[in-house]
Structure 1
Amino acid sequence: MSHRATKSGFAAEAQQKNIDKFDENLAAEILQWIQQTTGESFSTAGNMNNFGEVLKNGILLCKLMNSLAPSSQLQKIINGKVPTLAFKCMEVINQAVNAMEQYGVPKTELFQTVDLWEAQNLTAVLTCCSAVGRKAKSKGQGGIGPKESAKNERQFTEEQLRQGQSVIGLQMGTNKGASQAGMNMGNTRHIMD
């Protein structure tokens, strides 16, 4: 494991906010779901240390993604030797994250490898695993979390679109107090030479 200097200032505040956002109940629910989906046996305690340790080498995430969307690439990782070297573990985590993206998890909900390997931001890992659970549920694969919303595109006729152009809504604002010189609210700032 790498050793980093203790954070201070804004970095320490940001790290503390991430720690405060970590939901132990959601972590336990995710670990239980992973256990049911993969058939693996491990501790499903939702505390931050256990969550990070269980998922740390990335093998379990690869097994989860392989059970949801079988892939020959992930199968090679799962059937191979469990990595112990840091760069090998980080590569396995990266493969799992890539599989999550291909499965349909938005890029905004993915985590970076160091978030898990160095436990820099386990809240991001929690968010990503939750997104995988929602996506699995939307695909009918027994996921977790709320149901994802479905696209609801609407088609309007040209006549309906023209009718909408003639309506001036109250949300358009006001032009009272405006002139060609621009808006003038209150007193101007006087600067002395």
Structure 2
Amino acid sequence: MANKGPTYGLSRACQLKTNAKFDMNLAKEALTWIEEVTGRNLESPRGDFKDQYDVQEALKDGQALCELMNIIFPGSIKKVNTSKLAFKQRENIEMFVMACQRNGMKDVDTFATDDLYEGKSMYTVINCIHQLGSLARKAGFDGNTIGVKLADANKREFTEEQLIASKQIISLQYGSNKGASQAGMTAPGTSRHM
């Protein structure tokens, strides 16, 4: 974001809200996990990871994310670009996001390419990495994982007799019509009598 000018007004307010959602502890946990799984040493330009811009610089080329995906879900990304050209780095990020979606991640848990490449919303990037750790655990990845444990499906089968018996019960969830009148309601624009 060094090449971007300052933002003002609503754009500034939105950017400040987005920056406030970033949690450095979660980011360090995600970076440590990537290093453990890939064996790659992620480095910050300033030596230590101090803020979201350091995290962005470490992940910006997308190579570490693609390697991580290929270790967890082998063959997910066919070719990882090692070029320093911007469009190749963006392509790596896009391939990672598409691989996440193909392997069961919901769209809401992923991020846009610019969220990482331009550092627009780094908290969504970190949330996506944590969600990938959860998917890895559910897929049976035997290495170290992060993120919450995802729930398993609990499909239930009911017999025809059970379904018929359930129709005999009227629960309060169906609601009640007691007190459902329009007494005291006035039409829009009518003056109030005081």
TM-score range, shorter chain: 0.7 to 0.9
- Cα gap change, 1:186/1:64 in structure 2, threshold over 3 Å: closer, same or farther? same
Any idea what SS the aligned residue of 1:152 has? coil
**Which one of the candidate residues 127, 149, 152 is aligned to 1:150?**
152
Question: 1:104 deviation in Å?
Answer: 2.1
Query: Structure 1 residues 32-41 or 141-150, which shifts more?
Result: 141-150
Within-5 A mapping of 1:109-148: 109-141=109-141, 142-148=144-150
Q: Match of 1:184?
A: 182
**Which one of the candidate residues 54, 59, 62 is aligned to 1:58?**
62
Any idea what the Cα deviations from partners look like across 1:123-176, whole Å, max 9, x if unmatched? 111111111011111223231122110000100111111222222212222212
Pair 1:175 & 2:187 matched: no
The answer (yes or no) to whether the contact 1:116–1:125 under 8 Å persists in 2 is: yes
Any idea what SS the aligned residue of 1:175 has? coil
Question: 1:72 deviation in Å?
Answer: 7.5
2: CA distance between counterparts of 1:72 and 1:143? 18
Q: Match of 1:13?
A: 13
TM-score by length of 1: 0.84
Compute the RMSD of aligned alpha carbons.
Answer: 2.4
2: CA distance between counterparts of 1:94 and 1:156? 43
| Runs of 4+ residues over 4 Å off in structure 1 | 1-5
The answer (yes or no) to whether the contact 2:76–2:99 under 8 Å persists in 1 is: no
1: CA distance between counterparts of 2:118 and 2:183? 52
The answer (yes or no) to whether the contact 1:58–1:92 under 8 Å persists in 2 is: yes
- Cα gap change, 1:191/1:108 in structure 2, threshold over 3 Å: closer, same or farther? closer
Identity of aligned residues (%): 37
Matched positions, count:
185
Query: Which residue identity is paired with 2:129?
Result: C
2: CA distance between counterparts of 1:84 and 1:91? 11
The answer (yes or no) to whether the contact 2:38–2:71 under 8 Å persists in 1 is: yes
TM-score by length of 2: 0.84
Any idea what the Cα deviations from partners look like across 1:63-96, whole Å, max 9, x if unmatched? 111111222844x32xx5x222222211111111
- Cα gap change, 1:175/1:109 in structure 2, threshold over 3 Å: closer, same or farther? same
Q: Match of 1:161?
A: 163
The answer (yes or no) to whether the contact 1:24–1:48 under 8 Å persists in 2 is: yes
- Cα gap change, 1:173/1:13 in structure 2, threshold over 3 Å: closer, same or farther? farther
Within-5 A mapping of 1:59-138: 59-71=63-75, 73-74=77-78, 76-77=79-80, 82-138=82-138
Any idea what SS the aligned residue of 2:130 has? helix
Question: 1:23 deviation in Å?
Answer: 1.4
| Structure 1: gaps of 5 or more residues | none
Query: Which residue identity is paired with 2:167?
Result: Q
Any idea what SS the aligned residue of 1:174 has? coil
1: CA distance between counterparts of 2:145 and 2:110? 17
